[in-house]
Amino acid sequence: MTPLINIGYTGAHGSDPEYPPPLPEPEKDADIRYRPMVPFSWRNEICRFLDVSPDALDEEVFQAMDKAAKTLKEAEQMKARYEARRGPPRYEIIHSVRCEQSRMEGKLYLDQPWVVESGPNKAHLRGSQPILNFELFLERNKEAVFVVYKDYRCCGRQHNSRSKAHLEPDGQVDASSLLTTERISIISSDLSSAMEDFSETALAEFPHTDFKEGEEMKHPYIWWFHRRKEIDEALGKHELSSWSLMVNLVREYVLERMAEEWETVDELLARKKISLKYMDYLFVPNQIAISTEQGRDISKLQGVITQGWLERQPFLDYSAIVNVMFWTFDGTFHKVSKEFSIKDLPITLLAEMEEFNITELPLYPIEYASHETTEGLRKRGRMFWKCRFRNYVGLAQETSEEIQDSIGSRFMVDIATHKKLHGDAKARAQRQPPPDLRTRAHRCKVKLDVHFLRDVVWNTEAFDLLVVPEETKLLIQAVVTNQLQTTENADLIHGKGNGLFILLHGGPGTGKTLTAESTSMSSYTLARPGAAVCFYWLSILDPVLTLLVVLLDEADVFLEQRSLVNLERNALVSVFLRVLEYYDGILILTSNRVGIFDEAFKSRIQLNLRYRNLDRDQRLQIWKNFFIRLRRLEEASTRHSGLSYGAKVDEMLDKLDELAEANLNGRQIRNAVSTARQLARYQKEPLSYKHLTVVINEAKKFDEYLLELNRTYTADEIQRDKGER
């Protein structure tokens, strides 16, 4: 009878029946019932493992166990000797040749193939050390941790513009010209783990090859080129790490293979040059690049972010694509991704090694742009960011032929309001568009380059130089400032407007328009809509216009007395009166025909200011202000262009009394100074009192003619007789 051995029992007495086995420990869970012990024969299992009969004697079993122990020990020793003979890790270079005329798979060689004169192009490749069984080759070379594959194509359409340059002196095709690709294949799990550990140190957050076993690193190893410094630092810092030996093996091959080419690329990039052969080195994923797709002028350049490496088009000579991303804005930011095609290069197709400036490409990294370009793009970006909300801007210079004399003009950028006016389908579909939002200087739609927009520089000096009584200036400043800060409505009827309406009336050239302009120049935005859009502005743009000072210059058409004759004008005046009832902004009206106003406007205008004709002291002050400003303008003109002939400002200041005697209004004084400057430049002389007297005398001749024509009646007297002023 075969003895039974209890599971888990070992002791000094072995299987002696005089010593019964210990009882099993009770289960921790008292709810689990004990199951009956199942008898199990360890002796039978040991005999089966040792290939011994269960009926064998104990002595035979022990002998078999001793023999098995010796065999296991010898196996461990053989494994250790094999590992010692295996040697350090290494790599293999395998040349893969595929013949386009053969239906068979490509052949593998250990030696570099050479060209034989056979096949359709007399350029067939052969090698002397073929690999007939690749799996057996790997089994015999277990110390190889990666394989470098060099892929060749022969007997096909390889004689393109590139391969024609690779000919031997005797006219034979060079085998290297048939090399299409090179790749490093990871065949060792040890190398895979080492490269992954290494990448966490040296390649963190940088796009690179996947280092899993079976993955490939493709020539020219651009990711390694761009991280050489970090890779070398990581290997030096972790010299004793578990992955250092494996990674150094890869590094040795890559540097040996690419050293000459990378040195050439470094030298080209240092001079901001490149050639077609090395264009792949320019672009890295997540890199800022500059697109010239819209034009090469700095105002047309566009910044994009690359989303991948450069990919050459296989069937097109020197054409490539780069995936890029950029943002557009129409009131909401939109992310746009596209394939950017790099073509129309600045050199001929045959000149693969010819150098050219990187900035001649239609897309190039921002690090190769000039300082002027990068600063211009940064300024434009900051301005664009400001304009995502309502922003009042000035124009630095003319941007197109559509805008004449636009330097210094101001514009309100307000995309939200534009959407309010034109965003709905009905507004876009209607045949007759709503009146345009136009600038105060232009009565047409214009396209502005953000590059030329600047923050508004408020002219705080203009109001101080305004030649009107001080109490008038104080009153205007008080009501305008307090109105912009007031939000409460004192009207008994809820919903009525809380606007401020100012009427400036008087003769021409007395400072009415200048008062409105200088008020807004201090710190507020001035809008000057035309008559056709006035009602549209006031009724539709209330939220915007509450932040503006709206000037209706020569507002007679809106304010004229209603009559029984002209019903259309009556309707215009009635609508305008109704609009004023619910308007919340500041509205300044100017007129020199206050006598024709409808009496309904009298109660709606909070502040009426009369501008009398200039007296001698006011004219003297205006002349003085112009001369002081003229001195600054001439100094700035000489400093920037050097073309100015200057101005004898001190001489003209000495003649202020004589100049003030001429009965000119403010606008006529400005015109006189402007015309005199043009006369002086034409005569190539400094502006002086002489030039002013010539212009003033000509103006006097015209005034004398008008007096003669009107029988010595002045314009003020004529208007007064009509009851209009």
pLDDT given at position 249:
93
**Kind and range of the H or E run holding 675:** helix 666-682
pLDDT given at position 398:
53
Supply 69's token pair: 């122990």
Q: What is the 3-state secondary structure (H, E, C) of 648-672?
A: CHHHHHHCHHHHHHCCCCHHHHHHH
Cα-based torsion angle of the residue sequence 678, 681, 683, 684 in order, rounded to the nearest 10 degrees: 170
Sites in the chain below the pLDDT cut of 70: 1-40, 78-86, 118-121, 157-172, 314-317, 344, 346-351, 397-408, 421-446, 483-497, 521-547, 637-644, 723-725
- What are the residues whose beta carbons fall under 8 Å from the beta carbon of 444, sequence distance 6 or more? 402, 436, 438
Alpha-carbon span 704 to 533, nearest angstrom: 39
Alpha-carbon span 22 to 18, nearest angstrom: 12
Which residue's structure tokens are 């594959």?
A: 149
Supply 446's token pair: 């214009």
Residue range 641-673, pLDDT digits in tens:
555 678 888 999 999 999 999 989 999 999 999
Beta strands 124-126 and 114-116 are antiparallel
**Kind and range of the H or E run holding 616:** helix 616-640
Check: CB of residue 167 under 8 Å from CB of residue 115: no
Q: Which contacts of 170-178 are long-range, i.e. CB under 8 A and separated by 24 or more positions?
A: 172/115, 173/115, 173/121, 173/122, 173/123, 174/115, 175/112, 175/113, 175/114, 175/115, 175/125, 178/115, 178/123, 178/125, 178/152, 178/153, 178/154
Alpha-carbon span 340 to 292, nearest angstrom: 11
In the DSSP assignment, the letter for residue 33 is P
Collapse the DSSP code of 399 into the 3-class scheme (helix H, G, I; strand E, B; otherwise coil) and give the result: coil
Give the predicted TM-score (pTM) of the model: 0.67
In the DSSP assignment, the letter for residue 576 is H
pLDDT given at position 605:
86
Check: CB of residue 629 under 8 Å from CB of residue 674: no
| Domain boundaries, given as residue ranges, for the chain | 1-23+36-81, 90-269, 273-377, 387-449, 616-722
What's the chain's length in residues?
725
Alpha-carbon span 223 to 308, nearest angstrom: 11
pLDDT given at position 307:
93
DSSP-assigned beta bridge partners for residue 560: 597
Alpha-carbon span 201 to 193, nearest angstrom: 13
**Judging by beta carbons within 10 Å of its beta carbon (0-12, 13-18, 19+), is residue 177 exposed, middle or buried?**
buried
Spacing of C-alpha 651 from chain mean position: 54
Beta strands 391-395 and 410-413 are antiparallel
Check: CB of residue 589 under 8 Å from CB of residue 502: yes
Alpha-carbon span 319 to 495, nearest angstrom: 65
Check: CB of residue 549 under 8 Å from CB of residue 527: yes
Give the residue ranges of DSSP H helices in 370-424: 371-386, 415-422
Alpha-carbon span 620 to 625, nearest angstrom: 9
Residue in 229, 209, 228 with CA at minimum distance from that of residue 219: 209
Alpha-carbon span 192 to 210, nearest angstrom: 9
Q: Which contacts of 36-41 are long-range, i.e. CB under 8 A and separated by 24 or more positions?
A: 37/6, 39/4, 40/4, 40/5, 40/6, 40/7, 41/2, 41/4, 41/5
Collapse the DSSP code of 17 into the 3-class scheme (helix H, G, I; strand E, B; otherwise coil) and give the result: coil
In the DSSP assignment, the letter for residue 260 is H
Which residue's structure tokens are 């651009």?
A: 222
Q: Could you write out the DSSP letters of every residue in 475-541? A: HHHHHHHHHHH------SSTT----EEEEEEESTTSSHHHHHHHHHHHHSEEE---HHHHHHHHHH-
Check: CB of residue 440 under 8 Å from CB of residue 528: yes
CB atoms within 10 A of CB 192: 20
Q: Could you write out the DSSP letters of every residue in 36-71? A: PPPP--HHHHHHHHTT--TTS-HHHHHHHHHHHHHH
Check: CB of residue 188 under 8 Å from CB of residue 87: no
Collapse the DSSP code of 644 into the 3-class scheme (helix H, G, I; strand E, B; otherwise coil) and give the result: coil
**Kind and range of the H or E run holding 543:** helix 542-545
Helices (H) and strands (E) in the chain, counts: 23, 23
Residue in 629, 640, 638, 706 with CA at minimum distance from that of residue 674: 629
Residue in 234, 226, 195, 187 with CA at minimum distance from that of residue 211: 195
Alpha-carbon span 630 to 622, nearest angstrom: 12
pLDDT given at position 340:
92
pLDDT given at position 38:
59
